[in-house]
Amino acid sequence: MAVSLLNSGAATSGTAASNGVTPNSASQASDMFTKLLVAQIQNQDPLSPSDPAQFVQQLTQLSQTEALQKLSSLTSANSSVLQSMQVLSLGAQVGSDVMAQARQVRIDGSAPIQGQITLEASSAATDLVLTGDDGSTYTMKLGTVAPGNVPFTIDPGKLGLPAGTYTMAVTTSSKEVPAIDIQGRLNSVRLSPTGGVVLNVANLGEVDPAAITAFNGKSATAIQ
């Protein structure tokens, strides 16, 4: 009567999980496995004993399973620590001006918004096109630009931009699609319900930390 103890243990664990019962420690699972192993040896057919190699294989599988469980717990704990450190580090930057890659920008008033694009090749005709939620478009002529960082300023007053969210796109004579960075103040840092870090940046709303490309420090107004 050959019975896989690992499968029996998995079924027991699955039943316990479905009933909302959580083992106190890995040692309890190990003790249960040992008892089942002894019972299997005691109740085997004397005329047709089990191959000892099967017992060794099952013990090896148990050790591997316990090692994977410990590694998973350690990885989860390290991830939580790293997220906490990231929140603390970014929290110290609240109030600072940051640059973040984005494809949308929020216009809340008449204050100009600073930004830049990064080109790998020169462009003889470069435009920044803003498209509102209603489909209306506004074009900023950036002219002929050289490779590298190209700063620009979105002036809602001059462009006649009403408040709202605008999708940004850059057209170039070289057909290059460059990244767009927008400057805004880092207003807050929080953890999302899923455990990720979320930043709230003026002019952009909520952004992922990976979108931040530069920290420009606190402005004189913010320091005061």
- CATH no. for residue 146? 2.60.40.4070
- Is the domain of 9 the same as that of 74? yes
Residue 67 lies in a domain: yes
Closest Cα to residue 190, out of 82, 80, 78, 88?
Answer: 88
Residue 122 lies in a domain: yes
List, in order, residues 6 or more apart from 19 with CB less than 8 Å away.
none
- Is the domain of 115 the same as that of 69? no
- Is the domain of 79 the same as that of 111? no
Residue 150 lies in a domain: yes
Contact 60, 172 (CB under 8 A): no
- Is the domain of 110 the same as that of 188? yes
In this structure, what token pair is assigned to residue 69? 């469980």
In this structure, what token pair is assigned to residue 54? 């099967």
List, in order, residues 6 or more apart from 131 with CB less than 8 Å away.
137, 138, 166, 167, 169
Mean pLDDT, residues 1-30 taken together = 48
| Confidence (pTM) | 0.61
**pLDDT value for 126:** 96
Whether 185 shows a pLDDT value over 60: the answer reads: yes
Residue 91 lies in a domain: no
- Is the domain of 41 the same as that of 101? no
Residue 53 lies in a domain: yes
**Final residue of a domain: which of 18, 51, 85?**
85
Cα 117 from Cα 149, distance rounded (Å):
6
CA 116 to chain centre: 25
- Is the domain of 41 the same as that of 115? no
- Is the domain of 111 the same as that of 74? no
Structural domain that includes position 58: 5-85
* Segment 76-114, tens digit of pLDDT: 666 666 656 656 676 688 889 999 999 999 999 889 999
pLDDT level of residue 59 (50, 70, 90 thresholds): low
The total number of structural domains that make up the chain: 2
Whether 219 shows a pLDDT value over 80: the answer reads: no
Whether 192 shows a pLDDT value over 60: the answer reads: yes
Residue 140 lies in a domain: yes
Residue 90 lies in a domain: no
Residue 158 lies in a domain: yes
DSSP code at position 84:
H
Mean pLDDT, residues 49-66 taken together = 69
